[in-house]
A and B are shown apart, each in its own frame.
Chain A
Amino acid sequence: MKEKGKNKDESVNLQRTPKGDGIIRFMRKKSYFYHNCDVCKAYLFILPAMLAFAIFMFWPIIETIYLSFFKWNMVKPVKEFVGFKNYIEIIKNPVTYKVLVNTGQYILILLLINFIAPYILSFVLSSIIRKGKNLYKAVLFLPSVISLVVGSILYTWILNPVSGPAALIAGKIGITLPVWSKTEGLVIVVLSLITSWKVFGYNFIVILSGVMGVPQEIIEAARLDNVPSHRVFLDIVLPMSSATGIYVFIITIVQGLQYVFTPIKVITQGGPNNGSANLIYNSYKEGFLLFSTGTSSAFSMMTMVLFIILLVLEFKYVERGVYYEN
């Protein structure tokens, strides 16, 4: 009973000094060892989630690394160890370079539409227009809840070069639409647009919340000094919302490349002549269409390394030295 009272006091103290000084920390640590096995309970509570992660996330990562050193086709009883041969093969293969260039193009277009454009729009909405924010947010987010397969169907019809609405409107002004699904270069632009239809809204509301976190007084002060809008955006808003900004930047690349898989698979199957395949699609193709688990795993590892580099960059440059809202 006595002890309980003491502990209650302690928790009140902790409230006042959130970080706690040495003595309180020490007492707390001690009391947490007193109170039966809390650590066991902690692990027990996290166990169901960890079980799913162990079986369907951590183990598969290890197995994919393992598989990338073997030649196998998913059915053969024996896997043949080949060392780094799978990696050497994909480095030697000219298709890999094409796929890498495509991946780079996808990244650039996705960033332009889903990172730069929403950033500018957020700034406009938060400090130039100021009205109708919630309405625009709600409406622009709407396509994000729709399946990309639906998006792919809708856009293949709308952009059908002969009978689609877009072709008819273009025809009225005397333009014939190219067969985009068979035109290299253009196909990447259109598939990125279809993906952006879904991704744009999410990125927009997240960036908007970051931009709104910038104190209005600072922007007002700059306004009074007649600082032009683009300078306010580049010198004040951008650096002060960079924590959110970098998060969206990375998410756009990581999720965008995976989202774009759906329209590639549904509409072009990587064609024409690998013109629309990206790293993700190539892993899928090698694994489930050509049944070459080694090559597929090597491609997957390549993608993962790319994403990990992004993640490390985030932690290195962003988590420090960035202005956090709140």
Chain B
Amino acid sequence: MWKGVYTMKIKLNGRQWGWHIFLCLLVMFLLAPILYAISTSFKTLSDATNNVLSLIPEKFSVESYKSVLMRIPFIKITTNTFFIASSVTLFKIITSVLAAYSLVYFRFRGRNALYFILISTMFIPFTVTMIPNYLTIGKLGLLNSSWGVILPQLADALGIFLLRQSMRTIPRSLIEVCQLDNIGHLRIIKDIVVPLIKPSIISTGIIFFINSWNEYVWPVLILKTEEHFTLSLALQMFINAEGGTDVTVAMAISVMTMILPLALYIIFQRFIINTFTQSGIKG
């Protein structure tokens, strides 16, 4: 009997090691593109074409970054992207907190139906709203402007969903007591609800920011001239399906585009993963 237990343990360990190796390979496969991009962006062009596989640059060079700054109005484009992403985040957080509060703490006719309709919009493909939104933005005279990119992004139910989820964890009686003491709803939100669900609000905000930073589909329809571009659109100018003549420059701008989302993710990693985990659990 002891022998049986012993061999079972060994077998289990062997299997565990097998899976660990498999997972490590998977991790390498997912991270390799990022590592290669970073290393190639610091290579000289000849180094990049001759030593494709080497991860360490022969000679550390920032030529490709200089070249990006020369070719496109990089600072303007980054400012645009930042402005769009932070405006979208700010507006969406405000509207989502208010809407989620209303959906959790008020009881009114059609509340569940309204929530259901809002959540269902997450299943509407963007192509359905694409042409009418383009026409609306055109009528508002906002084509080729940052506001034209911002406004349609505000119709998004993800924040309402995530924040409603965490607001439901606040004991209902706490809010009811405040209401009975005649504290205004806005003050309840500001002094009680927001401080209590701060982690969710922060991570929802970061998710909004990253998503909007990476947004490609809508800006590509709205923005026409280089000085209004966002980073995703500027990137696209460096894509060359046939050959990699400008590999180092393409990698440099890729690194410049992904550096901020990556930094945010690394700093707030635990928050973000928890919030995303919640998003799959329904309630």
Contacts and interface: CB of A to CB of B under 8 A. Distances in A.
A209 B277 contact: yes
A283 to B, nearest CB: 4
Contact of B280 (A139, A210, A254, A311): A210
Interface SS of chain A: helix
B210 A145 contact: yes
Given A141-B273, A145-B262, A299 B16 contact: no
B34 to A, nearest CB: 7
A197 B26 contact: no
Contacts of A258: 125-126, 217
A63 B132 contact: yes
Given A39-B108, A45-B98, A165-B53, A60 B37 contact: no
Contacts of A152: 239
B172 interface: yes
Interface of B: 12, 15-16, 19-20, 23, 26-27, 30-34, 36-37, 40, 49, 52-53, 94-96, 98-99, 101-103, 106-109, 111, 114, 118, 120-136, 151-152, 154-155, 157, 160, 171-173, 176-177, 179-181, 185, 210, 213-214, 216-217, 220-221, 231-232, 235-236, 238-241, 243-244, 247, 250-251, 254, 257-258, 261-262, 264-265, 269, 272-273, 276-277, 279-282
Main secondary structure, interface of B, reads helix
B179 to A, nearest CB: 8
Contact of B265 (A35, A142, A169): A142
Interface residues of A, number: 114
24 contacts: A4-B181, A14-B176, A45-B98, A46-B114, A48-B99, A49-B160, A57-B124, A59-B132, A138-B273, A147-B257, A147-B258, A149-B216, A149-B232, A150-B257, A153-B238, A154-B36, A154-B37, A158-B32, A163-B52, A262-B216, A265-B216, A279-B125, A303-B127, A303-B128
Contacts, number: 308
B202 to A, nearest CB: 15
B130 A283 contact: yes
B99 A137 contact: no
Contact of B128 (A53, A141, A201, A301): A301
Contacts of B95: 48-49, 52
Interface stretch (A86-94, A104-112, A232-240, A241-249): A241-249
Nearest to A152: B239
Contacts of A56: 129, 133, 136, 151-152, 154-155
Nearest to A15: B173
A149 B128 CA distance: 22
Contacts of A173: none
Given A45-B101, A136-B23, A61 B129 contact: yes
A197 B131 CA distance: 29
B131 A153 contact: no
Contacts of A136: 23, 27
A316 interface: no
Interface string A240-268: 00011001101000100110011001111
B132 A205 contact: no
A88 to B, nearest CB: 20
A283 B262 CA distance: 32
The list of the 9 closest CB pairs from A to B, nearest first, reads A206-B280, A42-B106, A60-B132, A283-B127, A147-B214, A45-B102, A60-B129, A52-B154, A49-B99
A305 B224 CA distance: 32
A285 to B, nearest CB: 10
